Structures are given as structure tokens and as C-alpha cells.
Chain A
Amino acid sequence: MKRLFHFVPRLKLVLASLAMFGLVREPIEQRMRARLIEANLLLPPPAQTAFEQMSQSAMMGTLGGLRTLVATYLTLEAFDYFSTKSWDALRQTYQIIVDLEPRDESNWVSAIWHLGINATANMEYNDRLPKFERERRFREYAFAGIAFAERGIAQLPDSVAIRLQLAEIYRVKLQDNCATARVYGDTIGRPGALGYVRRFYGYFMARCPGKEREAYDYLISLYREGKQQHLPTLIKEIKNLEVKLSIPDRERIPDPDPDLPRPAPQSQPSTPLPGGIMVP
């Protein structure tokens, strides 16, 4: 051994051993990385665009193994942009955040909420901008929110929260009943989807031109599921469709129109109390 040390400088021996170890471990680590990514424990490398958009410090942090911390810091920064209504900076920050943590549903939901709801609301009431510009930016932010939602759904195909936030943009901001119905319909049956999603799908389909018949059949099938589905909005929507589609009287549901005033309950004759006292 001493002879070997005499002929080969120590540092070269260390480097050669390191290289040999590296060649052995590299394929093992690559397989391990693939399995960790598959198990959702390790994040895949950030997209090319994320690197291009990151500031120098964020990039150093990310490359230095502080990816989660950098993403969290950027979330706080985005909140600052929200406070100052700097929507373009906020959009850019969220582009990086979702690239850094693509599996964190809350990042996608926040991005959609900020752009699709908050930024558009700000455009509705921002008096400092001319009307045309406000309307243009309103659409721009609404579609930016939708674009985030579509990317988020591609990343997390079963996400209910992203779909509900997307439906909110179509419903509240763009007032696109057909698209709202499509998103609610896409949410039905996904893990964690609440019961109201099925009803909302029918309600918005009923308001989508050309889909009335399909909506009527769908809502009637919900109605026939039982008493628990006989909710005022469902009854009202069915009644509207019955009129619109000229459904024969015998096929119409017997429930009264929930918007009409209910007949006052008939007072029952009071039972006299002992001593002949009557309670009104």
C-alpha cells in the first residue's frame, strides 16, 4: 500500500476512487430519483421557463436545495403584490411558484383566485383606468386565471379545488353558463367532490342555450333520487324548464313554485285549557 502511495499522489487516488464510486452510484440514484418522483415524494426538475423567469437569488435558493422555502417566500411576495394590486407582478410570481411546486394544489388555487377573481374585480372598479382598458384587462386576467387552471388540471388531474375555482371564474366573472356547467360536470365523481356539484351542473346546464332538454332530463333524474334532492333551486329550475320545454301538465312535478308566496298555515282549533281558557 505504501508503495502505491509512493507512486500515485494521494489526491489522484481519492479522485479516482470518487469517480469509481460515482459511476457505481449514478445509475442507482437515477432509478431512485425516478421512483421518488413517481411516489410524489420528490419534485421533478423545474420547467425551463421557471429558470428563465427566476431572479438570481430565487434561482440560487432553488438550486441550493431550498426549493420549498423559495416557493414559500415567493408566496409571501405574491401576497405583497396582492396588497398593492400589482397584478402583473403577481402573475409572474405565481408562474414561478407553480413551476417550483407543481404538486401543491393550494398554489394553483391561489393563482386562479388572485387573477380570476381579485384582479378582475379590481378592473371592474378601478376608476383610474379608462373603460376600454379596464374591460381589456378584465378579460386578460380572467383568461390568465383560466390558463393557470388548465395547467393545474393537467398537473393534478383529480383536483376538485382547482375545478371549483375555475368554475367560479366562468360563473361569476365571465357569466358563461355553458362553460360553468362543463367544469361542474367534469368535477362530478372526483375524490372529495361535494354533493352540490351535481346539482350545480344541472342548474348551469339549464341556462346554457340548446342544452335545456338535456338539463331537464338530468335535473328530473336528480329529483327522482328522493326527498333529499327536493331543494328549492332544483324545483325552481325544473319548473322553469317545464315551461320552456312545454312539458305536459301530467308530467310536471307536483311541488309548488318555491318563489310563490306559501299559503298561510291553517290555524288549528285550540284545545281549551282547564277552566275554559282558550289559547289563541
Chain B
Amino acid sequence: MNSSPPTEKADSGVQTRHVPLFSLGRVLTITSGTVTQLFRMKVFYFLFAFALVMVAAGNFSLPATPAQELSTIKKVSFGTMDLFAWLFSIVATALLIPRDQEDRTLYTILAKPVRRIEYLLGKLGGVLCVVGLSLLVMGTICAITVGFRESLLVSEEIGAMQADGHFAPDEVNQQIDLIRHQGLRPELALVVLAYFFKAAVVAAVTLLLSTIASSSLFTIIVSILVFLIGNAHALATGFWLQESGNSWVVRIVVKVVKVLIPDFQIFAFSEGIVQGEVVPYWLVGEMGLITVGYLLVFLLLSLLVFVDKEF
């Protein structure tokens, strides 16, 4: 099957209707179809597993101060959210094109005046919508867990300090501020955004691999491998170089890996926000721009492979 020309012939064969080069409507139709497709695959069941992790995390009981306890709960909750987000992003994206091929939906779509870029954009858009929705749900569960625990710990701490009797009101406030600093804060919404950025780039990389690969399994395995290497190369470069005595062979390998594989580690900037650091919003904005850059480039590369692919 080759790519369809952007014109439609009427039954009579006399009239031809001009089909626009790019139609947002068509992209949105494919996006909504993809969302429905993923819903039908019951992909949201993983949220139950996530909720179970949250219940376990919410019941951690360590010999720690309330602030430390909250910090641990928050780190486990958000760390799990991150793990689920990128893993879900890989699996969902890897399943889409092969599933369309299997169901023969792909042939029906591409037989219509739909450009390949619209198809890919629609698929990626659908995955991003579902990932975004999952992150919102997971973020809400995290917020409820942390918020509930925070209010419990704050009331316990106030009670204990008041019972003790020798703490001045400003000392009580100082202690409560310490707990609240590790509790539910509006900046935590940016953590969800950071995870979305990372998951979006992961989805774009998986989409490219999916256009090259012939099976979902291959795409999933290679995507996970690329993700792990993308996380590791920034962290382990110094270690490898030192271990090898700064060998030129290792330096070349490191350079090639760095150039070909995205640096997923910079998307871990959410760690600082989780730990209560002050967020410079312009940095988050720049990370958003880097994400958009990745999405555009990987979408175009996917198109390069997919544009005249025969099925």
C-alpha cells in the first residue's frame, strides 16, 4: 500500500474535491480513535496496582520525624508514578501500530485521504492524552495520600507539642512549617508535568522504533533498553572514563551513545521539586521547549521511515 494522494474522486469521476495538505480535524479523529483503542485495551488497570503501592507507602512506619516520614512517602509515591508513566508510555505506543496492522484498521485509514504524518501525529497525540490522563489520576491519588498523611501528622505534632507545654507558639509554628514543607504543595503539580515531559519523549522514541520494528515485543524491549541507556549515560560517563583510564575507545563509545540516544536524565529535575527545592519556572519552561524539540524531531524521523512503508 502506498500513500494516498490528497484528492478524492466523486463516483462519476468528473468532480474532484480538494483535500487539504494537513487537517487538524483528521489528526483529532485519529487521536480520539487512539484514546478509545487504549481504553478498550483496559490499560488503566495498572492504576489499581499504583493505588496499592500508594496504600502501602501511606502506611510506612519508620523511626523518623514527621517531616522525614512525609518525605519518604512522597519520594515513594512520586517515584512510582514516574516508573509507571514511562513504562506505560512505552507499552502503549509500542502496541498501537502493530495492533492497527493486525486489526487491518491501518489499511482502512491509509486508504482514505489521510497523510502519514497525520496518522503518526494522531497516534502520538492519543498516547499523550492517555498518558496525561493517567498522570492526572496518579497525581490526584498521590496528592490525597500525602495530604491526608500531612494533616494527620500536623495534628499529632500540634497535640504533642501542646501537651508538652513548654513550646512557644512560634516554635510550634516553626515545627509545623517544617512538616508542611515536605507535605502537599502546589509546586508538586510541576512534578506531574516533568513526568509528562519525560513520558512524551519516551513515547516519541518508541514511535520511531515502532515504525522500524516488525513486532511490539521488539519495540518494547528496545525502547526500554534505550530508556535505560538514556538515563545511564549521563550518570555513568565519568565512572566509565575513570575506570578505563580515560581510554579513547571508551570516549568514542560514550560520544556515539550520547549523540544517538536521548538524555533522559535531565528530565529527572522533578527529584528536586519533590524534595522541596524552590522551582525556577523558566527552567521548567525551557525543559518544555526541549520536549517539544524531541517530539518534532522524532515525529519527523518516524515519518521518514513510515512515509512510503509498504504493509
Contact = CB atoms under 8 A, between A and B. Distances in A.
B83 A69 contact: yes
B212 A11 contact: yes
Contacts of A51: 236, 239
A72 B308 CA distance: 48
Interface in A1-47: 2, 5, 10-11, 13-15, 17-19, 21-23, 25-26, 28-29, 32-33, 35-36, 39-43, 45-46
Given A22-B258, A66-B83, A29 B236 contact: no
**Dominant secondary structure of chain A at its interface with chain B:** helix
A129 interface: no
Interface in B50-90: 62-65, 67-68, 71-72, 75-76, 78-80, 82-83, 86
A174 B66 CA distance: 28
B68 to A, nearest CB: 4
Interface in B270-311: 270-275, 277-280, 283, 286-287, 290, 293, 297, 300-301, 304-305, 308
Nearest to A83: B63
Interface residues of A, number: 53
Interface in A33-65: 33, 35-36, 39-43, 45-46, 48, 51, 60, 62-65
A67 interface: yes
Nearest to B171: A194
B259 A28 contact: no
B137 interface: no
A43 B231 CA distance: 13
B277 A63 contact: no
A14 B301 contact: yes
Contact of B72 (A29, A35, A66, A75): A75
Contacts of A2: 308
Contacts of B62: 75-76, 79
Interface stretch (A86-94, A103-111, A213-221, A238-246): A103-111
Contacts of A15: 260
A79 B275 CA distance: 21
Contact of A41 (B68, B76, B171, B269): B269
Contacts of A76: 62
Nearest to A71: B75
Given A23-B259, A46-B235, A110-B64, A66 B290 contact: no
A36 B271 CA distance: 11
Q: Max chain A CB contacts within 10 Å: which of B75, B228, B287?
A: B75
Given A64-B228, A64-B231, A110-B64, A103 B275 contact: yes
Given A10-B304, A18-B301, A45 B272 contact: no
Interface string B2-22: 000000000000000000000
Contact of B304 (A13, A60, A66): A13
A114 B301 CA distance: 53
A72 B242 contact: no
Contacts, number: 152
A34 B236 CA distance: 16
Contacts of B171: 194
A200 to B, nearest CB: 16
Given A64-B228, A110-B64, A45 B212 contact: no
Contacts of A109: 68
B293 A48 contact: no
A175 interface: no
Nearest to B267: A65
Contact of A36 (B212, B227, B236, B283): B283
B263 A41 contact: no
Given A22-B260, A65-B231, A42 B79 contact: no
30 contacts: A13-B304, A14-B304, A15-B260, A19-B259, A26-B258, A28-B290, A29-B266, A29-B290, A33-B265, A35-B283, A42-B265, A42-B266, A42-B271, A48-B239, A63-B231, A64-B228, A65-B86, A65-B264, A65-B268, A68-B75, A68-B78, A69-B75, A72-B75, A72-B76, A75-B72, A79-B62, A79-B63, A106-B64, A106-B67, A194-B174
State the 4 A-B residue pairs at the shortest beta-carbon distance, nearest first: A22-B259, A41-B272, A63-B232, A69-B79
Interface of A: 2, 5, 10-11, 13-15, 17-19, 21-23, 25-26, 28-29, 32-33, 35-36, 39-43, 45-46, 48, 51, 60, 62-69, 71-72, 75-76, 79, 82, 101, 103-104, 106, 109-110, 192, 194
